[in-house]
Amino acid sequence: MIKQNWIGLALMIGVLGGCSSPPTVPEDQRIPQGEGDYRDVDDLVRASQAEDESVEVVAEESATELAEEDLTQGESLNKGELTPFEQAMGETYDPVIYFGYDQSQLDEASLATVQHFANILVDNPNERIKLIGHTDERGSQEYNLALGERRAQAVAEAFMLYGVSDERMEIISMGETEPAAEGQTEKAWALNRRVEIESNNESSND
């Protein structure tokens, strides 16, 4: 799952070139969701349940994973086109914030993650982000759509606390429609209650 988030971010960055160069990243280069990911899922859940220090350890591991992925997928990612901001975003912290059941509060570790990305944004005043809120599948779809938005808003408020203006953040909710992990288990649900932080250069490319 960690991998998938990184690749998603990298893919998105690769695609942000705009309409003049149509997207060329083929489907089969995406990291598939599902059974094969459960080893990663286990790791992440253990990590997210552990103490604050170990969260950073996970982040470092994931950074290593990103480096490996970059080696294998470098060509399709147009790495040379990454801006300093985009490179910085992928360096130490996983750009995902996780939440408890029916919760939208950020814990200390999550605030540290937000602070990390907020600092990057403060240093790169032209960069924008998308905050994409998600929920697990339990309960009604429409309530979850609103809950995903509330989570993304909570993350946006934390970013504002660290000096990022709300005009630079686009809040989106996907509700329960885009699970990161499949299956009806506490593990999968814990991974699905999340807000993803994505680079958003859509408007600057228009």
Partner 1 sequence: MKPTFRYCPSLLSFWFALMLSAIITPASADLTIEIDQSSDMAIPVAILPLAHDEGVVPSHRPSEIIAANLFRSGKFQALPERQLPARPQSIEEIDYGQWLAEGVDNLMMGRIDQEEDGTYTVEMRFVDLLRQEQVIGKRWRKVSETALRRVAHKMSDLIYQELTGKKGAFNTRIAYVTERRQGGKRLFSLEVSDSDGYGAQSILKSTDPIMSPAWSPDGKKLAYVTFENGRSEIALQYLDGSRRDIIASFKGINGAPAWSPDGQSLVFTNSREGSADLYRMHMATGKVERLTRHWAIETEAVWAPNGRSLYFNSDRRGQPQIFQLFLDTGETRRISFEGRYNSNPAISPDGRYLAMVHVKRGFHIAIKDMYKDELSIKTKTRLDESPTFSPNGEMILYAMNQGGRGKLAVVSVDNNVTQVLSVKEGEVRSPSWGPYLD
Q: Which residues of this chain interact with partner 1, rule CB under 8 A?
A: 4, 8, 11-12, 15-16, 18-19, 22-23, 25, 27-28, 30, 32, 102, 137-143, 145-147, 149-150, 153, 171-175, 177-178, 183-184, 202, 205
| CA nearest to 166, candidates 156, 174, 176, 158 | 156
Shortest distance in whole angstroms from residue 157 CB to partner 1: 11
Nearer to partner 1, 6 or 117 (CB): 6
Nearer to partner 1, 92 or 177 (CB): 177
Shortest distance in whole angstroms from residue 22 CB to partner 1: 7
Nearer to partner 1, 168 or 183 (CB): 183
| CA nearest to 18, candidates 149, 169, 204, 190 | 204
How far is 107 from 175, CA to CA, in rounded Å?
Answer: 21
| CA nearest to 130, candidates 151, 156, 161, 104 | 156
Do 9 and 25 meet the contact criterion of CB atoms below 8 Å apart? no
Nearer to partner 1, 90 or 175 (CB): 175
Nearer to partner 1, 37 or 55 (CB): 37
Shortest distance in whole angstroms from residue 177 CB to partner 1: 4
Shortest distance in whole angstroms from residue 68 CB to partner 1: 19
Shortest distance in whole angstroms from residue 81 CB to partner 1: 15
Q: DSSP secondary structure string, 74-115? A: HHHHTGGG--HHHHHHTSSS-SEEE--TT-----HHHHHHHH
Using CA atoms, how far residue 72 sits from 48, 65, 75, 76, 112, in Å, is: 27, 11, 8, 9, 30
